[in-house]
């Protein structure tokens, strides 16, 4: 079955620490990859996405993600987190003609 795995359920960091959230998927072939974020009390919103081309994509608020095809991974990174980055982060994958599949999410808590 198609799946998306997010390795960390809950990550706790101090402000200014670096962040990396793992995401792996189980499909072969061409995929589109997404990271969504849900801040407390807010809607799910797109953080960044990968279609094709440069495997390092940059998103909003200083986030970036790297697509490594050989590892079926799309890890999210930020060099220095802020308290306002406290949120739930979802990785999602889609192949042409199929539904968007979400991982279970990672809760990030940043202490000031």
Partner 1 sequence: EAGVAQSPRYKIIEKRQSVAFWCNPISGHATLYWYQQILGQGPKLLIQFQNNGVVDDSQLPKDRFSAERLKGVDSTLKIQPAKLEDSAVYLCASSLGERKSGETQYFGPGTRLLVL
The candidate with the shortest Cα–Cα distance to 59, out of 78, 73, 42, 32, is 78
Among 27, 32, 62, 86, binds partner 1 (CB under 8 A): 32
CB-based burial label for 41 (10 Å; 0-12, 13-18, 19+):
exposed
Could you say whether residue 105 binds partner 1 (CB under 8 A)?
yes
Pick out residues in 34-63 that bind partner 1 (CB under 8 A): 36, 42-46, 49-51
Q: Which C-beta is closer to partner 1: that of 28 or that of 97?
A: 97
Could you say whether residue 5 binds partner 1 (CB under 8 A)?
no
CB of 60 closer than 8 Å to CB of 6 = no
Torsions phi, psi for 71 (to 5 deg): -105, 0
Q: Rule CB under 8 A: which residues touch partner 1?
A: 4, 32, 36, 42-46, 49-51, 90, 92, 94-100, 102-105
């Amino acid at each position: 079955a198609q799946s998306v795995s997010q390795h960390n359920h809950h990550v706790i960091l101090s402000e200014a620490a670096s962040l990396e959230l793992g995401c792996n998927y189980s499909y072969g072939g061409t995929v589109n990859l997404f990271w969504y974020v849900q801040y407390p009390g807010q809607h799910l919103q797109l953080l960044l996405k990968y279609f094709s081309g440069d495997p390092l994509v940059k998103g909003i608020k200083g986030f970036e993600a790297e697509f490594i095809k050989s590892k079926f991974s799309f890890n999210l990174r930020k060099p220095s987190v802020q308290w306002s980055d406290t949120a739930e982060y979802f990785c999602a994958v889609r192949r042409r003609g199929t539904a968007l599949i979400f991982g279970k999410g990672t809760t990030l808590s940043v202490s000031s």
